[in-house]
């Protein structure tokens, strides 16, 4: 089974389970080789996800994956929050995170540009709007290969021996 097929299968299995536990399944990703695959499950919920939530989620995610024939053999399970660079996978994500800074990559379709970094302007019909360099770009949702928030993390340094 191809990597994308396994991720899709696991998404179908985990989505309703996550919802029943009060979580949103953001993404299921598979990486690593066939002999030692890594299954990464990204979860979120209203108010964010803390370490205790991830620890408890690890148990029910592991239980939900038991017995799935596509996962025969050893694998590493990673359960985490999506982080500041949250992937945007669902069409509704592009409306939900309007106003945020995003990076959107598309498949080449005769256009020279395949990557945009700018402000997410929401959705219009079946297109995603990204404002970059003072211009509005309309990108067909079906052409998007990868999209994520471009998180900005800042730290205020206090009390570190200064």
Tell me what pLDDT residue 74 has: 87
- Separation of alpha carbons 115 and 132, rounded Å: 11
The verdict on domain 3-80 having CATH code 3.40.50.720 is: no
**Are 54 and 41 contacting, i.e. CB atoms less than 8 angstroms apart?**
no
What is the DSSP pairing of strand 76-80 with strand 38-44?
A: parallel
Task: Report how far residue 79's alpha carbon sits from residue 28's, in angstroms, rounded to the nearest whole number.
Answer: 9
The domain limits of the chain are 3-80, 93-149
Whole-number percent of the chain with pLDDT over 90: 67
**DSSP conformation class of 159:** S
Q: Tell me if domain 3-80 and domain 93-149 are identical in fold.
A: no
- Cβ atoms within 10 Å, residue 130: 23
The alpha carbon of residue 41 and the mean position of all alpha carbons in its chain are separated, in whole angstroms, by 9
Q: DSSP assignment of 40-68, as one string?
A: EEEEE-TT---HHHHHHHHHHHHHHHTT-
Span 54-101, pLDDT tens digits: 999 999 999 999 878 888 788 899 999 998 899 999 999 999 999 999
β-bridge mates for residue 131, sequence order: 119, 136
pTM of the model: 0.78
Q: What is the mean pLDDT of residues 124-130?
A: 95
Statement: residue 157 has pLDDT above 60: no
Chain-centroid distance, C-alpha 46 = 16
CATH 3.40.640.10 holds for 93-149: no
């Amino acid at each position: 089974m191809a990597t994308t097929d396994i991720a899709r299968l696991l998404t179908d299995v985990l989505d309703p389970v996550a919802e029943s536990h009060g979580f949103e399944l953001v993404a299921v990703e598979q990486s690593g080789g066939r002999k030692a695959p890594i299954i990464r499950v990204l979860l979120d919920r209203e108010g964010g996800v803390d370490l205790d939530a991830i620890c408890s989620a690890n148990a029910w995610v592991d239980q939900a994956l038991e017995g799935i024939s596509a996962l025969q053999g050893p694998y590493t399970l990673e359960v985490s929050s999506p982080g500041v660079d949250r992937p945007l996978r669902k069409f509704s994500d592009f409306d939900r995170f309007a106003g945020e800074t995003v990076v959107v990559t598309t498949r080449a379709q005769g256009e020279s540009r395949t990557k945009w970094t700018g402000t997410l302007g929401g959705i219009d019909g079946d297109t995603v709007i990204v404002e970059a360099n003072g211009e509005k770009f309309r990108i067909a949702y079906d052409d998007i290969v990868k999209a994520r928030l471009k998180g900005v993390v800042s730290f205020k340094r206090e009390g570190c021996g200064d």
